[in-house]
């Protein structure tokens, strides 16, 4: 099914799209654009009724809502939206190149992603790999959080697909905001700034880092204030197993990220590094003693140097013919985070 057939069907459902249109651009794909000379701030530009949503059926108790949507896409043969989706390539590019020597920062999250994928794949062995992969990534890249009014708080249960809404692309400087309207039972898009003719309509999916965008959606941004650098792997190199268990016992192991913004370095990281030299008097609750202040500073600074060296080594080993641009942006992302963190440490201790 081509795009025109889907749009004819969608517009016949009574949805007003008179001020917007769908367009395809080679480097971006499909997007939603203004067809009006000026759309004012705080304007409602799209309202999609709930009866068009595709929701999990929950007919099988051993499947998540996400997996129920997989079944729907694989089995549905009459919905024009699903027919259109069959022509869309949603699989992140990195999945086609498993032999690239990716940096550790990517490998860790790729492994978690693939483990989740395989967990679902093993429940659908009666479908071939190509069909399942298409269905999985169609949902993974297009689903919207939606409260299903069930007891489960699992994100994979509370989501749905909303036709046409998924033409709106992600931006860290969006010009719209989307939300469910419980009064009209519809998903609405409102402008948060004025939009000119032919300007793309965007909203922010979530404050995703470039690593997450690359793995989950297959693209990255040249500038992204939500970048972060997980240092769990590096801490494992300097902490003993016993020390790691201590950190985990206080639930500190779940907050081990450095950020690109000017946030302070997290308490969990400070305490993790302090443990490397202060086994006997270490406490998860108190600041290091004044006499140990500069020792902690030296340890943190040395640790940042090690992280930088590891990243440089990782990216030198990532020889790729497929992701040259992404490689350069990610490399600069990580170095920027380390630089920002070094500045913060200097301000704290000086």
Give the pLDDT of residue 262.
Answer: 65
Give the pLDDT of residue 264.
Answer: 77
Give the pLDDT of residue 23.
Answer: 93
Q: Rounded to a whole number, what is the largest CA-CA distance in the chain?
A: 73
Residue ranges in the chain whose pLDDT is less than 70: 1, 262-263, 290
CA–CA separation, 84 and 166 (whole Å): 12
User: pLDDT tens for residues 141-185?
Assistant: 999 999 888 887 788 899 999 999 999 999 999 999 999 999 999
Neighbours of 2 (CB within 10 A): 9
DSSP state letter for 158: S
Domain boundaries, the chain: 3-208, 228-349
For the chain, where are the alpha helices, taking DSSP H only?
3-11, 65-75, 80-85, 104-121, 129-142, 210-216, 232-238, 241-249, 267-274, 293-317, 324-349
H helix count then E strand count, the chain: 11, 13
Report the half-sphere exposure of 137 (CA within 13 A, side-chain side): 21
Query: How deeply is 216 buried, as exposed, middle or buried, from its count of CB atoms within 10 A (0-12, 13-18, 19+)?
Result: middle
Give the pLDDT of residue 275.
Answer: 92
Give the pLDDT of residue 163.
Answer: 95
* pTM, rounded to two decimals: 0.91
Give the pLDDT of residue 65.
Answer: 95
347 phi-psi bin (left φ>0, alpha ψ -120 to 50, beta other): alpha
Which run of H or of E encompasses 291? none
The CATH fold assigned to 3-208 is set domain protein methyltransferase, domain 1 (3.90.1410)
């Amino acid at each position: 099914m081509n795009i025109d057939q889907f749009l004819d069907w969608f517009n016949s459902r009574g949805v007003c799209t008179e001020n917007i249109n769908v367009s395809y651009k080679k480097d971006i794909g499909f997007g939603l654009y203004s067809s009006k000379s000026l759309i004012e701030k705080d304007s409602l530009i799209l309202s999609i009724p709930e009866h068009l949503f595709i929701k999990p059926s929950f007919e099988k108790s051993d499947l998540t809502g996400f997996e129920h949507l997989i079944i729907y896409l694989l089995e549905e043969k009459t919905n024009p939206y699903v027919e259109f989706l069959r022509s869309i390539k949603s699989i992140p590019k990195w999945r086609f190149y498993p032999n690239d020597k990716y940096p550790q920062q990517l490998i860790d999250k790729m492994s978690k992603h693939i483990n989740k994928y395989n967990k679902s794949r093993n429940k659908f062995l009666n479908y071939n790999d190509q069909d399942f992969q298409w269905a999985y990534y169609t949902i993974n890249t297009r689903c919207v959080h939606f409260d299903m009014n069930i007891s489960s708080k699992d994100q994979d249960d509370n989501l749905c697909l909303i036709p046409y809404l998924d033409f709106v692309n992600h931006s860290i400087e969006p010009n719209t905001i989307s939300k469910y309207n419980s009064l009209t039972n519809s998903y609405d898009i409102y402008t948060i700034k004025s939009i000119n003719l032919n300007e793309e309509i965007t909203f922010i999916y979530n404050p995703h880092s470039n690593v997450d965008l690359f793995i989950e959606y297959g693209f990255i941004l040249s500038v992204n204030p939500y970048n972060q650098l997980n240092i769990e792997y590096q801490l494992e190199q300097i902490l003993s197993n016993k020390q790691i268990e201590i950190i985990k016992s206080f639930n500190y192991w779940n907050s081990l990220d450095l950020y690109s913004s000017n946030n302070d370095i997290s308490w969990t990281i400070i305490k993790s590094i302090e443990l490397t030299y202060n086994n006997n008097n270490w406490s998860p609750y108190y600041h290091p003693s004044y006499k140990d202040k500069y020792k902690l500073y030296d340890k943190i600074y040395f640790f940042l140097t090690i992280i930088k060296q590891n990243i440089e080594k990782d990216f030198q080993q990532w020889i790729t013919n497929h992701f040259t641009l992404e490689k350069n942006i990610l490399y600069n992302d990580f170095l920027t985070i380390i630089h920002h963190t070094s500045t913060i440490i200097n301000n704290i201790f000086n």
